[in-house]
Structure 1
Amino acid sequence: MRRCGEVHDSGQMTVELAAMLPVIVVVALIVYNLAKYAEACSTFDRVSLDAAVSHGVSPSGTQSRGAAVSEIEGVIRKALNSSTCDVTVSASDAASAVEKDGLSFPLSPLLTTYRCTLTFHPWPTTISVAGVGYAAPISLQHERTITVDRFRPGVVI
């Protein structure tokens, strides 16, 4: 028997959960993507430096800059093994990189700078749960640069 003035809270927790569930899902997706990005960056940092030192100095087959770049790119892609990550590698003379920094003298004509770039695409790109929308940024980028002497193994700057 109900008395006048009594307040019953039955069902209040269910309503609060229904209101908070979309927010919880969006926060969980953000945390998931952040963890995947951190994992991809740590793997990329380790593998890109190893690949540039080992394959950039002496690529198998043709001893050209293009062959070294494609071999480094392939090794990094294989190590990441992810459909949400894109890898690009570019190579330039170390002298041109020094000139961009304001210095005009070449360090050595034999030094090559490899610039490895990881582009991470979060999953899912867009989602809407009960009116709460989540739109991931287009992509996140992480870059790693290493300078090696392509003709003398073991010389890393």
Structure 2
Amino acid sequence: MKILNNKDGQMTVELAVLIPVVVVVALIAINFMEFIDACAAFDVLSSDTVISQAVSPSQGVDTGALCAQLEGDIASGLQREGSCSVSVRCEDQGLAEGSLTNCLLPHYVKYVCTLKFKPWPRNLNLPIVSYSAPLELSHEKSIVVDMFKSGVVI
């Protein structure tokens, strides 16, 4: 009867079962914290970059070139080339071109900055549990500015 009640090694078996679950939960928590950190830095950096550069762009610069410049500046300031990608698109919210009072009325432009975060590792298969992260997590920040009035942010 003593052989049936022997509990030697039970802790080892419990630990072997628990370790893969703990590893997966830790990876989820680490990726979540990385994403939140990237979002916080991205919100501040995208707002500052758009307000400083897009409110009064250089004369003759089209919106495509300005968006490309904003993308590059935000990505270089974020310093997360391996795990994050940045895109900026511009949506004209202004008035019709044929309007006589076009120079007097506000001309609003909406900049939509998008952060795409790639979690690491993408897939992890352990004996008891498997982990599969989404392809990308996305975060958007939109800023509406008046292009011809410096410092006017809507």
Q: Does TM-score exceed 0.5, indicating one fold?
A: yes
Residues 62-102 of structure 1 deviation map (CA, whole Å, 9 limit, x = unaligned) = 53212221121112101221111111100011249xxxxxx
Among 86, 107, 110, the residue aligned to 1:110: 107
TM-superposed deviation, 1:58: 3.4
Query: Secondary structure in 1 aligned to 2:149?
Result: coil
Larger RCO (alpha carbons 8 Å, 6+ apart):
2
TM-score using structure 1 length: 0.83
The answer to whether 1:148 aligns with 2:145 is yes
Cα deviation, residue 121, structure 1 = 0.9
Are the equivalent residues in 1 in contact too, given 2:86–2:115 (CA < 8 A)? Answer: yes
Q: CA deviation at 1:7?
A: 2.3
> How big is the shift at 1:56?
1.3
Asked if 2 retains the 8 angstrom alpha-carbon contact of 1:59 and 1:71, the reply is no
Which stretch shows the higher mean deviation, 113-122 or 68-77? Answer: 68-77
Answer yes or no: is the 8 Å Cα contact 1:55–1:71 preserved in 2: no
Match of residue 71 from structure 1:
69
TM-score, normalised with respect to structure 2: 0.84
Tell me the residue number matched to 2:99.
none
Alignment of structure 1 residues 1-157 onto 2, 5 Å: 4=2, 7-59=5-57, 62-82=60-80, 83-95=82-94, 110-157=107-154
SS in 2 for 1:92: strand
- CA RMSD, 1 decimal: 2.0
Contact 2:75–2:86, Cα closer than 8 Å, also in 1: yes
What are structure 1's unaligned runs of at least 5 residues?
A: 97-107
Contact 1:114 1:147 in 2 (8 A): yes
Contact map agreement 2:110 2:142 (CA 8 A) in 1: yes
AA aligned to 2:55 is V
